[in-house]
């Protein structure tokens, strides 16, 4: 059976016990690629960050974009024309499975809405492709776990698009936190106030724009009529496709909170919020959310708001490690340390501004890992991406269920069976099935 036929069949056999070929079947992508060998990239989902990722990768010496895939023909035409103006010819596809069937593609970029990440990443791994997958990696805890198992089974290199992991000043800040200079850290505050992010206006259902394969866009999500308020960028505010600011920005910021504290998973989670700012606009996810995570020796607080910028410490986003001696504040603009007035330790530190491009360094890191055929070489592995995505999904599960949740590490589930049933893994529709690894 051809790989294309196999992948198509496996993605449409809901509930079946499926046979997965061993990775040796697709051994070409798992050979060490020499420094002089060209690495060929296929990009799937190219309207937003998928295109930014592709352009960052294309700047790495020896990398060539050879294929594009999108279910919106207008987007596909636009990106193809942009590359043509640079003298780059590419093949185009509207079905990602056809792209995965191309033997000359070494790696793929996945930049689709979140609800497609799991299936595409797993199918890419089955097809022997290395993967650069946008964050959050999965739209549920169950998807995150399935993606980790797939990478471990097939051995592909997977880089998650949490590019802050490759940026120097973030790494320096975590090293400072780990030094103990701040003293015992009792609370970590993470906030995301995004004034430019607002839900779309409520509009009636309509026919999809010409050239949009909306049924394919929905994929494993419930079959619904097309509505412009849920399409393209605004998919973020609907549970079928994403998880709001908690997963959109949360996986970037919570990631460094967890890194700084060397923390695993919380013991309990409480998420409180609602549609407080924009009750008359098109959104399901909360525009205002506060979530408290309980760990053994500290509390982690997530605070998000759409439509306003005046967050903690005068910043629209950030992470604050609050210690007995001082507080370290970190965001994309840099990091600084504010000393406690009563502290006898001189630990204040002026703002350290970023001096590098995190996205471009993340792309270089991915290509280095692909050339070495070494999944452990990436700065943000699928295991790293799953860790923070699961923490973010925990917050959403608490908010959606209206319950304080307790996590049982031994079983990898909540202690509330009804919450596990409703929120641990999203159901799949339209004949699609999340492969069991």
Q: Tens digit of pLDDT for each residue in 181-216?
A: 999 999 999 999 999 999 999 999 999 999 999 999
Q: Domains in the chain, ordered, with CATH?
A: 3-165+361-381 (3.40.50.720), 167-356+390-423 (3.30.360.10)
> Given this model, what pLDDT does residue 30 score?
53
> Are the CB atoms for 355 and 169 separated by under 8 Å?
yes
- Give the Å distances, CA to CA, from 310 to 120, 195, 283, 333: 37, 8, 22, 15
Residues of the chain with pLDDT under 50: 1-29
Query: Which residues face 50 on adjacent strands?
Result: none
> Given this model, what pLDDT does residue 17 score?
27
Size (the chain), residues:
437
> Given this model, what pLDDT does residue 37 score?
85
d(CA 95, CA 98): 6
pLDDT tens-digit readout, 138-170: 999 999 999 999 999 999 999 999 999 999 999
Cβ of 206: how many Cβ atoms within 10 Å? 10
Return the SS3 of 255.
helix
> Given this model, what pLDDT does residue 224 score?
96
d(CA 305, CA 310): 10
Collect all residues with Cβ–Cβ distance below 8 Å to 195 and sequence separation of at least 6. 307, 308, 309, 316
Q: How far is CA 402 from the centre of its chain?
A: 25
Structure tokens at 242: 């994403």
Sign for the CA dihedral angle at 108, 387, 433, 116 comes to negative
Angle between helices 358-372 and 49-58 (to 10 degrees): 60
d(CA 283, CA 277): 11
Query: Which residues face 92 on adjacent strands?
Result: 68
Radius of gyration of the chain (CA): 22
> Given this model, what pLDDT does residue 36 score?
60
């Amino acid at each position: 059976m051809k790989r294309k036929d196999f992948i198509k069949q496996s993605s449409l056999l809901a509930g079946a016990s499926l046979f997965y070929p061993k990775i040796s079947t697709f051994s070409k992508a798992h050979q060490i690629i020499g420094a002089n060998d060209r690495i060929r990239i296929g990009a799937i989902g190219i309207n937003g960050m998928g295109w930014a990722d592709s352009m960052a990768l294309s700047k790495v010496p020896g990398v060539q974009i050879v294929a594009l895939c999108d279910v919106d023909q207008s987007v596909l035409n636009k990106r193809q024309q942009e590359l043509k103006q640079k003298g780059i010819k590419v093949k185009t596809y509207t079905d990602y499975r056809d792209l995965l069937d191309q033997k000359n593609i070494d790696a793929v970029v996945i930049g689709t809405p979140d609800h497609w990440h799991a299936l595409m990443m797993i199918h890419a791994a089955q097809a022997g492709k290395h993967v650069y997958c946008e964050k959050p990696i999965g739209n549920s805890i169950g998807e995150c776990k399935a993606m980790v198992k797939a990478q471990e089974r097939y051995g592909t290199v997977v880089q998650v698009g949490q590019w802050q992991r490759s940026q120097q000043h973030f790494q320096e800040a975590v090293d400072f936190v780990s030094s103990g200079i701040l003293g015992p850290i009792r609370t970590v505050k993470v906030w995301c106030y995004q004034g430019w992010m607002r839900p779309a206006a409520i509009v009636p259902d309509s026919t999809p724009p010409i050239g949009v394969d909306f049924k394919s866009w929905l994929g494993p999500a419930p079959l619904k009529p097309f509505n412009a308020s849920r399409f393209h960028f605004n998919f973020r505010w609907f549970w079928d496709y994403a998880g709001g600011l908690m997963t959109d920005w949360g996986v970037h910021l919570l990631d460094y909170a967890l890194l700084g504290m060397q923390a695993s998973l919380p013991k309990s989670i409480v998420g409180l919020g609602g549609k407080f700012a924009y009750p008359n606009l098109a959104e399901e996810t909360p525009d205002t959310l506060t979530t408290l995570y309980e760990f053994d020796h500290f509390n982690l607080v997530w605070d998000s708001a759409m439509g306003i910028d005046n967050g903690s410490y005068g910043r629209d986003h950030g992470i604050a490690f609050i210690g007995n001696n001082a507080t370290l504040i970190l965001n994309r603009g840099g990091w600084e340390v504010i000393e406690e007035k009563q502290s006898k330790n001189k630990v204040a530190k002026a703002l350290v501004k970023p001096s590098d491009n995190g996205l471009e360094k993340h792309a270089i890191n991915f290509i280095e890992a692909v050339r070495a055929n070494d999944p452990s070489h990436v700065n943000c592995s699928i295991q790293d991406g799953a860790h923070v995505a699961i923490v973010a999904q925990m917050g959403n599960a608490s908010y959606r269920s209206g319950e304080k949740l307790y996590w049982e590490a031994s079983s990898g589930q909540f202690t509330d069976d009804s919450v596990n049933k409703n929120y641990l893994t999203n159901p799949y529709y339209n004949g699609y099935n999340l492969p069991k690894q």
